[in-house]
Amino acid sequence: MPSGTQNTVRRSQQNPRRHRKRRRRGPLIRFRFGMLCFIWLASLIVCFGLYMYHRNVHPERDVFVSKAVAETSSALDSVAPVDSAPEESSFAENVNSTASDESSAEESSQAVIEAKINPVPDGQTPQPASYLEKCAFVGDMLVDRLYESGLLQKKNSYSSETLTLDNYRTEYIRLQDGTTIRILSAVARAKCPIYLMFGTESLVNGRKPDQMTAQFSEMLNSVVAGAPAAQVYVLSIPPVTAAAEKLKKGAVLNSDIDLYNSNLLELCNQANVYFVDTNTALKNSSGKLDPAYAEQDGIHLNKDAGELLLNYVLAHVPNA
């Protein structure tokens, strides 16, 4: 048989095999169930990571945070002092109303600055306990304990056990409706009285008074700028017991507390906000916190001390 014919026969015999092989081949890409689960899980992780990144770096773009800011601002407006309360009109407005019509804006502003006397002196007419429900108390664990003790309502307590001067810009607090939000966003555009108390937890963590003062100054300026219609009060941090000054770990000195409070007083005078000296109200004859007002660590206040502190606040609201 000629060689050409033999080659043709061989190719014809091989072709069916090739067709059979082609028919046996499956799809070029096979999707397995496990691979689909892996792709879904990877996509979920990537999306969650991007969300957390944008929430922490650009919280103002977060729809949940933006909604919480609007709701919180509305809630803070709703607890503003009622018309019959003497604290309703700001002290600045009353001073301006007594000035002559021909006074310039600069002279009126100067009168407001001179009118604020710090610390807020004794002799003020005590406010009723309901006044506390018209205020926002912002602070670290000390403020949080006032809420935990039942002395403040959740809607009036903007605090956390982990909130400090070091992390107030990044730490989230939980609101009454369960929303988590940052402090500066929570009090933005507020019109009710705002009470700030920060510093005790920072001292426990080893921070120095001067460092804390710089941090508080930055926060105070942010609060005043973010809520220009609110009356801002700064509460001095309370003393600690003699035993708390001798702790092997986390000891706090009353001398550091006094220095820090003195710095806060100066900051309040510079920022033209009120300073309430709650520290003096809690000191005993030795210049320290009485153990009867302290929890076991000698640093944090018990419920009796919390009541004393809030009663002092009620008795030191500048009257019109």
Q: Check residue 95 and give its pLDDT.
A: 31
Q: Check residue 49 and give its pLDDT.
A: 78
CA–CA gap between residue 86 and residue 89 (Å, rounded): 7
Q: Cβ contacts of residue 275 below 8 Å, gap of 6+?
A: 118, 119, 120, 233, 234, 236, 264, 265, 268, 269
**Mean pLDDT within 276-287:** 94
Highest mean pLDDT among 4-8, 33-37, 243-247: 243-247
Domain that holds residue 127: 48-314
b/e sequence 40-77, b meaning 16+ C-beta within 10 Å: eeeeeeeeeeeeeeeeeeebeebeebeebbeebbebbe
**pLDDT above 70 covers what percent of the chain?**
70
Q: Cβ contacts of residue 283 below 8 Å, gap of 6+?
A: 239, 289
Residue 20 domain flag: no
Strand-pairing partners, residue 283, are: 289
Is 30 or 237 the better-scoring residue by pLDDT?
Answer: 237
CA–CA gap between residue 1 and residue 240 (Å, rounded): 114
DSSP single-letter state for residue 119: S
Residue 274 domain flag: yes
Residue 185 domain flag: yes
The structural domain count of the chain equals 1
Considering the chain, what is the average pLDDT of its residues?
79
Residue 270 domain flag: yes
Residue 198 domain flag: yes
Residue 11 domain flag: no
Work out the number of other CB atoms within 10 angstroms of the CB of residue 17. 9
108, pLDDT greater than 80: no
Q: Which segment of 9-23, 40-54, 143-157 scores lowest on mean pLDDT? A: 9-23
- Helix crossing, 105-115 with 91-98: angle to 10°? 130
Residue 160 domain flag: yes
Distance spanning both ends of the chain, measured CA to CA: 125
- pTM of model > 0.85: no
7, pLDDT greater than 60: no
- Helix crossing, 303-314 with 141-148: angle to 10°? 100
Supply the CATH number for residue 176's domain. Answer: 3.40.50.1110
Q: Check residue 30 and give its pLDDT.
A: 60
Residue 65 domain flag: yes
